[in-house]
Amino acid sequence: MALGENTNHGEVKFRFKDFRVYQDAKSYCLLCRDFAKSGIEAHDRGLADQISRASNSVVLNIAEGSADNSDAEFARFLSISIRSVYETVAGFDLAATYGYIGDAVNEKVEEEAHRLVKQLVSFRNKLRN
């Protein structure tokens, strides 16, 4: 079945929802949004908003890339997701530099980001081979 095609029962199946990396990206997005809202937003709404947009981009690019039947195109969207993870890490690093969050929060974000990037890179490499 192609992506987004109707199933036998007339339902549309979105394959990205079954990907472990998509589920983990959603968890990372929630983590980023929670930390941005609780630790950064009161000090710097623009930075908190940028982090939230970047974390949303991680998830949304996985979904968008899966809509194409081209593995090369999907891999390109996964690369965009990876860049967005890096953007969130940089945003939290700035927040730590500015004193908005502590080292423990920054380290937690980096740990989760590292784990997610490894998944995204692995998935992207499978598509390229």
For 9-21, the pLDDT digits (tens) are 556 689 999 999 9
Query: Does a structural domain hold residue 72?
Result: yes
Query: Does a structural domain hold residue 6?
Result: no
| Residue 3 pLDDT | 43
| Residue 9 pLDDT | 56
Query: Does a structural domain hold residue 4?
Result: no
64 lies in which domain range?
Answer: 16-128
Q: What is the tens place of the pLDDT at every residue in 68-92?
A: 889 999 999 999 999 999 999 999 9
The single-letter DSSP state of residue 38 is I
In the chain, the number of structural domains is: 1
Query: Does a structural domain hold residue 99?
Result: yes
CATH of the domain at 39: 1.20.1440.60
